Structure 1
Amino acid sequence: MTYLGDSTQSHVKMKLDSVLASVQTVEESTESFAREAGFDEDDASQIAMVAREAAVNAVVHGNKYDTAKHVTFSCALTDQELRVQVADEGPGLDPESIPNPLAPENLLRSSGRGVFLMKAIMDEVHFRQLTPGTEITLVKRRISKEIDA
């Protein structure tokens, strides 16, 4: 694991090896940021779970466990949102080609639900093609606790 750029309490960026152990780092860091943002235990756990899914996809499907490739992870907290980005160095992904996990022919498949969960839990999910690789951005907006008078 290598820290990239400025790592502060409100932002961290890491370069991780393409191994499943890196997935734990993404999950734990994201959950910590989500709790810092004020998300309750259930929401923080769900946000961490989908960040884990993004990291698994990067290691397994993007980089295919290639030790010469890395996963870049960043997590940033602002007044408005929690933003998680996970990027791989693989051949790229067309998000439109991901099969619908709710289609009858896919219900019993053991994989293919990660992106579906990301879209269900997060407020925004964006894919960006890199050269090489794919970057996924997950955004969860913070809800103001203030009540307007």
Structure 2
Amino acid sequence: MDTIQIQIPSLSENIRIVESFIDNAKEKFELNDDIYGNIMIAVTESVNNAIIHGNKLSKDKNVSLRLKVDDNTLRFTVQDEGPGFDYNDLPDPTAPENLDKPGGRGIFLMKNLCDEVKFEDDGRAVILSFYLH
């Protein structure tokens, strides 16, 4: 089982570090373009949420990103140092009253791009799983 981990201060420009992390994973695990695209969008979205909503752009707080690979599954864990949130009480972005709202699509997107999305630690950690078929 392989595990790779990085930690970044909560600044939006650090998303490019996350992008190179994913590029390295693509090469190391020879990911095809379809799964790579889904991973890139879902993981950067998740890290962005952690930076903005979790850590409130506080550069004194870090976001950690861990990738675990086992049994043909890639598991990305994104963890922030914020207060957490109630992930069971999210507005449905596809509901007519929410269609014009700019936010609220991130988690919906992640659930559509990943094979599995799990929240832990009161919403401070999200685990995005991708099955390698």
TM-score, scaled to structure 2: 0.90
Amino acid at match of 2:132: R
Segment drifting more, 22-31 vs 90-99: 22-31
Q: Which runs of 5+ in 1 are unaligned?
A: 1-9, 144-149
Using the alignment, how far apart are the partners of 1:70 and 1:117 within structure 2?
A: 23
Residue correspondence of structure 1 range 75-94 to structure 2 within 5 A: 75-94=67-86
From 136, 139, 142, the counterpart of 2:126: 136
Q: What's the Cα RMSD here?
A: 1.9
Say which one has the larger Rg. 1
Using the alignment, how far apart are the partners of 1:36 and 1:108 within structure 2?
A: 40
Q: Greater RCO between the two (CA within 8 Å, min separation 6)? A: 2
TM-score, scaled to structure 1: 0.81
Compared with structure 1, are the counterparts of its residues 60 and 99 closer, same or farther at alpha carbon in structure 2 (3 Å cutoff)? same
Using the alignment, how far apart are the partners of 2:107 and 2:58 within structure 1?
A: 22
Using the alignment, how far apart are the partners of 1:139 and 1:74 within structure 2?
A: 12
- Structure with higher helix content: 2
Residue correspondence of structure 1 range 104-143 to structure 2 within 5 A: 104-129=96-121, 134-143=124-133
Asked whether the 8 Å contact 1:28–1:48 carries over to 2, the reply is no
Deviation at 1:46, TM superposition (A): 1.6
